[in-house]
């Protein structure tokens, strides 16, 4: 059973490594520079013990010190040592450049993927976990990758080089060292295999913690308003304890690597010293200088095993983080529609033909819904919470596609049209406002980048936002932080309305567009909306029924179906579902 459990893990690691190498080989100069200079630094470092051993042989004989040879060897040692240092520095530069470029590309691909993901993915996954993958996991991956490129190749080259030099000096002692080596490799492999599982748990729990923290910070006012501070602390502490446990397990297992391999390496060193000492005493051409070389090589030979063991542990954590990022990058994108037709010269006729849709396949929401909206009509959509009002808007905008039936604009199935052209045909003002980092002017111009300053001001005046904008420190050039900073919800909503006033799209969707605005300002904006929606097909999702009395047609939805349709007067006279909703608000 254990073998079956390990096989997929190894396959996943190989796949992750292959993809990382694919990113790395986009920068062949950095890769080649790192390998070449790392090899050069190892060769120069390995030649130093040879020269020192020869120097010792020059002074072993009593009264027979060869000063000329010593002088030559001294300068050679300095030359090789300086060359090794320069090669190591260049290797570090190449590794840093390579690591930064690879992580930059992976982050860019991850963010690019987020921009192409369907809304359904973001609805089903915690935003904090997604952020953790792109930021925290990428940082940890960068650290592990840098360590790996810095030490792994150097360590392997050092091991191979020292074995070669030892076998050339004394093949018997060299063979003893080689035969003992698998013990160190076995220990390192055992620890690394067990560590991966804990690193994987650690990164997953850390992502959960990031998501929970972001959720509570973004909703801190609500948390405090409902006195949920203690409950939030309890949940955070529970997640934190799980993270501590996973981290302690990962650190504990990874910390076993160094002392375990050091014990074996010290054993190898002692074995070389013992056998080499007896070989010198026995004569036969094995000199004190040769013993010095062997002891130096035994020390250099064992050192990479400690480093590589640590590197493998770090790489396990790094590849776990990389796997989480690649998991995001591999998510299914929205179905490409580049070959679809562009929607142009929009008239605004919208039709639903026997539409079926549900967010979860086992929970039906909209079934066999048919609806026809003539161009230029103001359509109000009302109903209880969860009746499908916003879902209808999502289908119009192709944030979701229907499970069955068709949504048509000007007689064309939206699935045959590009999403970009469909979405550009609608202007949306949502209940949840969104303000990007930038100036007030840049936020208003989002829907029309080519607009002049005069047009921006005119749109702001129409949205009744001009007054508070002029009171800001720098007016329209006032920089806003993420999500509007110190602006009130009402002010942010006015900016979103000004954004639509400037864009003037062919069709409009107003989803509780005035929910955060005071009644007096709402009455003023309603006049602007009346002018804006004139001759434009408009869908107004509303809970406050006083805002939809002048709509050309009102759709009353229940459980994903349109149960009533008509004008305000007609529906009141009908004394049905709309009449009950209306009376519940104005009773």
Average pLDDT, integer, range 452-471: 86
**pLDDT range class, residue 150, cuts 50, 70, 90:** low
* Model confidence pLDDT, tens digit, residues 216-238: 776 776 677 667 778 888 888 88
Q: Is the pLDDT of residue 264 over 80?
A: no
Q: How far apart are CA 288 and CA 547, in angstroms?
A: 99
pLDDT band with cut points at 50, 70 and 90 for residue 82: very high
- The CA distance from 261 to 265, in Å, is 6
Virtual CA dihedral for 21, 24, 30, 31, nearest 10 degrees? 10
The answer, yes or no, to whether residue 312 has pLDDT greater than 50, is yes
- For the stretch 359-397, pLDDT in tens is 877 777 888 888 888 888 888 888 887 777 888 888 888
pLDDT at site 587: 60
Residue 138 scores a pLDDT above 60: yes
What's the pLDDT band for 205 if we cut at 50, 70, 90? Answer: confident
Tokens 């048919």, residue? 370
Under the banding of pLDDT at 50, 70 and 90, the label for residue 399 is confident
CATH architecture of 350-586: 3-Layer(aba) Sandwich (3.40)
User: How far are the Cα atoms of 438, 440, 443, 446, 524 from residue 470, in angstroms, in the given order?
Assistant: 17, 11, 15, 20, 19
Asked if 110 and 325 touch (Cβ cutoff 8 Å), the reply is yes
Residue from 91, 68, 17, 79 nearest 45 by CA: 79
Cα gap 468→454, rounded to integer Å: 17
More confident residue, 186 or 42: 42
- Mean per-residue pLDDT, 145-158: 74
What are the Cα distances from residue 545, in Å, to 267, 318, 563, 580? 84, 55, 17, 11
432 φ, ψ (degrees, to nearest 5): -90, 110
CB 410 within 8 A of CB 349: yes
Cα–Cα distances (Å) from 485 to 46, 217, 437, 495, in that order, read 60, 14, 9, 13
Which of 102-116, 130-144, 573-587 has the highest average model confidence (pLDDT)? 102-116
Q: How confident is the model at residue 484 (pLDDT cuts 50, 70, 90)?
A: low
Which residues share a beta bridge with 564?
556
> In the chain, which residues fall in CATH 3.40.50.300?
350-586
Query: What b/e sequence results for 438-476 when a residue is b if at least 16 CB atoms lie within 10 Å of its CB, and e otherwise?
Result: ebbbbbbbbbbeebeeebbbbbbebbbbbebbeebeeeb
Whether residue 482 is predicted with pLDDT greater than 50 in this model: the reply is yes
Structure tokens at 77: 């040692």
Name the average pLDDT for the chain.
Answer: 79
Span 172-188, average pLDDT? 73
Residues of the chain with CATH 1.20.1560.10: 20-195+258-329
Rounded Cα distance between 574 and 43, Å, is 93
pLDDT score for 4: 41
Could you give the 3-state DSSP secondary structure of residue 409? strand
How far is 403 from 419, CA to CA, in rounded Å?
A: 17
Over range 120-146, report the average pLDDT: 77
The per-residue pLDDT for range 559-582, each reduced to its tens digit, is 778 888 888 888 888 888 888 887
- Distance, CA of 450 to CA of 447 (rounded, Å): 9
**Pick from 2-16, 19-33, 63-77, 345-359: least confident:** 2-16
Percentage, residues of the chain above pLDDT 70? 87
Question: Residues 518-560: pLDDT tens digits?
Answer: 777 677 667 667 777 777 888 888 777 777 777 888 888 887 7
C-alpha torsion 541→545→549→554, nearest 10: 50
9 pLDDT higher than 60: no
User: What percentage of residues in the chain have a pLDDT greater than 90?
Assistant: 1
Judged against a pLDDT cut of 60, whether residue 47 lies above it is answered with: yes
| Residue partners of 509: CB distance under 8 A and separation at least 6 | 393, 396, 397, 426, 427, 428, 429, 538, 539, 541
Model pLDDT, residue 2? 40
Nearest-5° Cα angle at 386, 122 to 546: 115
State both tokens at 562. Answer: 């349109």
Query: Which pLDDT does position 132 carry in this prediction?
Result: 80
Checking if the pLDDT of 337 tops 50, the result is yes
Average pLDDT over residues 399-428: 85
Indicate the burial class of 571 (C-beta count within 10 angstroms; 0-12, 13-18, 19 or more). Answer: buried
**What is the reported pLDDT for 86?**
93
Query: Which option is the CATH number for 20-195+258-329: 1.20.1560.10, 3.40.50.2300, 2.60.40.10, 2.40.10.10?
Result: 1.20.1560.10
Mean pLDDT (whole number) for 286-295 = 74
Q: Is pLDDT above 70 for 63? A: no
Burial of 529 (0-12, 13-18, 19+ CB in 10 A): buried
């Amino acid at each position: 059973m254990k073998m079956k459990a390990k096989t997929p893990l190894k396959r996943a690691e190989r796949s992750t490594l292959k993809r990382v190498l694919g990113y790395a080989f986009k920068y062949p100069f950095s890769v080649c520079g790192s390998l070449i200079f790392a090899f050069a630094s190892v060769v120069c470092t390995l030649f130093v013990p040879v020269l020192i051993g020869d120097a010792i042989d020059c002074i072993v004989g009593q009264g027979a010190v060869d000063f000329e040879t010593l002088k030559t060897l001294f300068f050679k040692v300095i030359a090789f040592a300086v060359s090794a240092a320069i090669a190591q520095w260049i290797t570090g530069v190449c590794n840093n450049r390579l690591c930064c470029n690879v992580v930059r590309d992976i982050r860019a691909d991850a963010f690019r993927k987020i921009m192409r993901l369907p809304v359904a993915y973001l609805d089903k996954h915690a935003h904090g976990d997604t952020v953790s993958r792109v930021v925290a996991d990428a940082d940890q991956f960068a650290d592990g990758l840098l360590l790996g490129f810095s030490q792994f190749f150097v360590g392997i080259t050092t091991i191979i080089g020292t074995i070669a030099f030892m076998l050339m000096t004394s093949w018997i002692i060299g063979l003893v060292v080689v035969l003992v080596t698998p013990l160190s490799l076995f220990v390192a492999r055992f620890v690394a295999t067990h560590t991966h599982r804990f690193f994987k748990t650690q990164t997953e729990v850390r992502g959960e913690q990031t998501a929970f923290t972001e959720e509570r910070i973004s909703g801190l006012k609500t948390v405090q308003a409902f006195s949920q501070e203690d409950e939030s602390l309890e949940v955070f502490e529970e997640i934190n304890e799980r993270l501590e446990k996973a981290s302690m397990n990962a650190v504990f297992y990874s910390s076993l690597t160094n002392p375990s391999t050091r014990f074996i390496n010290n054993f190898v060193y002692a074995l070389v010293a013992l056998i080499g000492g007896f070989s010198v005493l026995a004569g036969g051409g094995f000199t004190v200088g040769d013993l010095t070389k062997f002891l130096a090589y035994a020390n250099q030979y064992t050192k990479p095993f400690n480093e590589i063991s640590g590197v493998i542990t770090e790489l396990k954590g790094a590849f776990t983080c990389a796997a989480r990022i690649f998991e995001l990058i591999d998510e299914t994108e929205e179905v490409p529609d580049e070959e679809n037709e562009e929607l142009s010269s929009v008239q605004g006729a919208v039709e639903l033909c026997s539409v079926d849709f549900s967010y979860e396949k086992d929970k039906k929401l909209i079934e066999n819904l048919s609806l026809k909206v003539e161009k230029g009509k103001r359509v109000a959509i009302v109903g209880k919470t969860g009746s499908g009002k916003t879902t209808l808007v999502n289908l119009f905008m192709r944030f979701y596609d229907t499970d069955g039936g068709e949504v048509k604009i000007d007689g064309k199935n939206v699935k045959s049209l590009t999403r970009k052209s469909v979405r550009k045909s609608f202007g949306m003002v949502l209940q949840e406002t969104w303000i990007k980092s930038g100036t007030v002017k840049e936020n208003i111009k989002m829907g029309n980048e080519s607009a002049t300053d005069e047009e921006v001001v005119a749109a702001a005046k129409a949205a009744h936002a001009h007054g508070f904008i002029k009171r800001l420190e720098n007016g329209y050039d006032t920089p806003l932080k993420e999500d509007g900073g110190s602006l009130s919800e009402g002010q942010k909503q006015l900016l979103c309305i000004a954004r639509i006033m400037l864009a003037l799209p062919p069709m409009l969707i107003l989803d509780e567009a005035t929910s955060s605005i005071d009644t007096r300002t709402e009455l003023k904006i309603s006049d602007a909306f009346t002018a804006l929606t004139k001759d434009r097909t408009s869908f107004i999702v509303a809970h406050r029924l006083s805002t939809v009395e002048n709509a050309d047609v009102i759709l009353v939805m229940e459980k994903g179906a349109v149960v009533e349709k008509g004008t305000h007067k007609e529906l009141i006279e009908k004394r049905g579902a709309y009449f009950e909703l209306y009376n519940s608000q104005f009773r």
